[in-house]
């Protein structure tokens, strides 16, 4: 007989020892230096000091040659510093290691455009756009490349995408207007140029620079990711057996299968158990102490029970119970305050002999059906939940 002693594991109290004084594993000096260089480069880049940013990212890439983030940052710093060849070289290293790096293709496209490699720029921007089509700067730069190649239709398409993604992009509206002039769409062109003028009127300051127009999520500097290390020695814990305090002298009388439920949805785990020589009983949980509640429902003589299933079988917000066994099964309807009634005879499951079972809504009707493994033949059988605790065998 499987006594309830083993469910003491369910309610074991955890005694936490040595919660303080356990230090984290420190990272290696090399990784610390890499993080410092990456963060320093990020600070320099955001301050507009491209040369110092270049130096920091170059040192980081040398320290960690496999770190693609360092090379992508290096490419962006080189672009900001007006060194498109260096940017192109660094971006190519990233692409070689990650063919899905949209940011690297974008930076490469910017570098090609600065070098007047127009066809290569179109190819790079297009690859970046294929990987991430929601970046206005990519569409804008791709439009510029097509514009320089006098691909008016393609340029118009890209500039239109840019203004749709970023309606307040003055340069996109201006260039879209210029392309529309070349396509003979004068009225549309004037509209775009008027929008450009209105946007400029709202913005005081210096005109946009090449670097400023290149800025996007693809040119954002990537900060180093530092994985938090586990505690060196872990957290020593030990378990304390509180079975006696939880169940008292009756603990030896309770046995499996066990159902865990929350009577009245009060946030406490109550237990539905089999009491030896008596029957099925509900144990209410009060601050970790389980006490018998209500009457006992008789069990079959010398029956071997295998599974206790807990679920709301009739969608009334009360958890109900099905217990399956090798000699027969039981169905219990629950109501307020843990009052329960056996409805096995009405459910048509009285003669169900099973070794395993599960409740599942197979037809998405909102009612849980019963799937069982028969005791004698190990066959699967499915019982459709028709509502009001009535089940029908629909296996065939």
Q: How far apart are CA 378 and CA 250, in angstroms?
A: 35
Q: How far apart are the first and last CA of the chain?
A: 36
Do residues 308 and 272 lie in contact, with contact meaning Cβ atoms separated by under 8 Å?
A: yes
Same fold, 32-200 and 245-393: no
Query: Is the pTM above the cut of 0.85?
Result: no
Superfamily classification of domain 245-393? YVTN repeat-like/Quinoprotein amine dehydrogenase (2.130.10.10)
Which residue in this structure is represented by tokens 């305090």?
245
CATH superfamily label, 32-200: Tetratricopeptide repeat domain (1.25.40.10)
Residue 234 has which token pair? 């872990």
Task: Determine the pLDDT at residue 119.
Answer: 97
Enter the DSSP assignment of 34. Answer: H
Strand order across the beta sheet in which 380-387 lies: 354-360, 369-374, 380-387, 390-393
Per-residue pLDDT of the chain (396 residues; tens, 9 = 90+): 444 443 444 343 333 333 333 334 445 788 889 999 999 999 999 999 999 999 999 999 999 999 999 999 999 999 999 999 999 999 999 999 999 999 999 999 999 999 999 999 999 999 999 999 999 999 999 999 999 999 999 999 999 999 999 999 999 999 999 999 999 999 999 999 999 999 988 887 778 899 999 999 999 999 887 667 777 788 888 899 999 899 988 889 999 999 999 998 888 899 999 998 899 999 999 999 999 998 999 999 989 999 999 999 988 889 999 999 999 999 999 998 889 999 999 999 989 999 999 999 988 989 999 999 999 899 999 999 998 899 999 998
pLDDT reported for residue 322: 96
pLDDT of residue 27: 58
Can you tell me the distance from the alpha carbon of 32 to that of 23, in angstroms, rounded to the nearest whole number? 17
pLDDT of residue 23: 39
| d(C-alpha 244, C-alpha 393), whole Å | 43
Sketch the domain layout of the chain as residue ranges.
32-200, 245-393
């Amino acid at each position: 007989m499987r006594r309830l002693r083993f469910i003491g594991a369910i309610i074991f109290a955890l005694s936490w020892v040595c919660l303080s004084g356990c230090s984290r594993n420190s990272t290696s000096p090399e990784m610390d230096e890499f993080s410092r260089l990456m963060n320093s480069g990020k600070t320099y880049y955001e301050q507009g000091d491209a040369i110092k940013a270049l130096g920091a990212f170059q040192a980081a890439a040398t320290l960690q040659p496999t770190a693609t983030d360092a090379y992508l940052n290096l490419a962006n710093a080189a672009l900001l510093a007006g060194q498109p060849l260096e940017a192109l070289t660094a971006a190519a290293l990233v692409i070689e290691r990650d063919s899905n790096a949209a940011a690297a293709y974008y930076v490469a496209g910017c570098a090609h455009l600065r070098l007047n490699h127009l066809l290569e720029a179109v190819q790079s921007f297009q690859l970046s756009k294929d990987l991430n089509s929601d970046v206005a700067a990519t569409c804008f730069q791709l439009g510029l490349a097509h514009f320089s190649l006098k691909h008016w239709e393609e340029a118009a398409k890209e500039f239109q995408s840019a203004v749709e993604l970023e309606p307040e992009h003055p340069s996109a509206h201006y260039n879209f207007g210029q392309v529309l002039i070349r396509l003979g769409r004068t009225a549309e062109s004037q509209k775009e140029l008027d929008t450009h003028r209105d946007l400029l009127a709202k913005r005081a300051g210096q005109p946009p620079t090449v670097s400023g127009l290149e800025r996007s999520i693809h040119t954002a500097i990537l900060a180093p990711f530092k994985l938090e290390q586990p505690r060196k020695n872990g957290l020593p814990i030990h378990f304390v057996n509180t079975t006696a305090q939880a169940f008292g002298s009756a603990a030896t009388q309770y046995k499996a299968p066990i159902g865990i439920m929350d009577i009245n949805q009060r946030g406490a785990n109550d237990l539905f158990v089999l009491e030896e020589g008596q029957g099925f009983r509900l144990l209410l949980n009060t601050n970790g102490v389980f006490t018998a509640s209500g009457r006992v429902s008789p069990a079959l003589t010398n029956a071997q029970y295998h599974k206790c299933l807990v679920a709301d079988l009739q969608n009334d917000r009360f958890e109900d119970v099905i217990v399956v066994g090798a000699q027969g099964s039981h169905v219990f309807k629950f109501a307020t305050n843990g009052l329960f009634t056996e409805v096995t005879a009405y459910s048509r499951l009285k003669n169900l002999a099973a070794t395993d079972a599960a409740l599942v809504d197979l037809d998405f009707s909102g009612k849980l059906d019963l799937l069982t493994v028969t005791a004698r033949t190990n066959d699967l059988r499915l019982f459709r939940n028709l509502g009001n605790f009535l089940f029908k065998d629909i296996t065939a």
